[in-house]
Amino acid sequence: MPTGCPEQDRDKYSEAEPVAGFLDYAARVRGQETDRISELIEYATFRGVKTIGIAGCVGLHDELRVITDRFKDAGFVVNNIMCKAGSLTKKEMGVPSSNRMTAETGYSIGVVACNPVAQALLLNKQQTDLNCIIGLCVGHDSVFVKHSEAPVVTLIAKDRTNAHNPASVLNSFYGDNFFHRRPSPEGASKFNARRIKPIDLIRMIRAKRRG
């Protein structure tokens, strides 16, 4: 083992909670090819969770309502705390007036500041067994995780330009160009031709003939 490997001090880092049956649970969930919300319900049920807390963004209140109903239908007690908890104004926080109603990016952000610390502390007060993040901004999510006493699962990662699906930009020509993985859609075939392995080309030809 390398120096400093946690495995050298397993008792210090190991979970006190039993994990019996986890492999069977994981295999069952993967076999269902389920969506993330249903998977969280399965996981919470497996862990014996009774109360779920949700730290939500006001911009995703419709999604929050649907997810809350799903959790309640599954038998969980749900506590929701929105990002504007505490009603601290941006003026009180020292935010310039030019950024209090509309951000430089053009999005309406209001006069009330987000408060991820309060979200975490209020859910701690409710003694939730598991907390979820729905659409908290980058940075706010990490602050919430830092202060949450319960384990945290991200259900929706905010991504305004990609329908809150950050991975979508990685699976398109736009993403390829944005991250300079290949020069342009027109040059993709030439780019791939330089990188493709001969065995892959043979497999593609065989697959095409079979099809």
Higher model confidence: residue 55 or residue 89?
55
Can you read off the two tokens belonging to residue 90?
């941006």
> Would you state the CATH architecture of domain 51-161?
3-Layer(aba) Sandwich (3.40)
Higher model confidence: residue 11 or residue 18?
11
Q: What are the residue ranges spanned by the domains of the chain? A: 51-161, 172-211
Q: How far apart are CA 113 and CA 15, in angstroms?
A: 36
> Does residue 179 have a pLDDT over 60?
no
Least confident of 19-33, 58-72, 144-158, 186-200: 186-200
C-alpha 49: how far from chain center: 20
Q: How far apart are CA 174 and CA 67, in angstroms?
A: 31
Q: How far apart are CA 154 and CA 139, in angstroms?
A: 13
Q: What pLDDT shows up at residue 4?
A: 79
- Element housing 30 (H / E): helix 22-32
Q: What pLDDT shows up at residue 37?
A: 94
Are 39 and 20 a contacting pair, CB within 8 Å? no
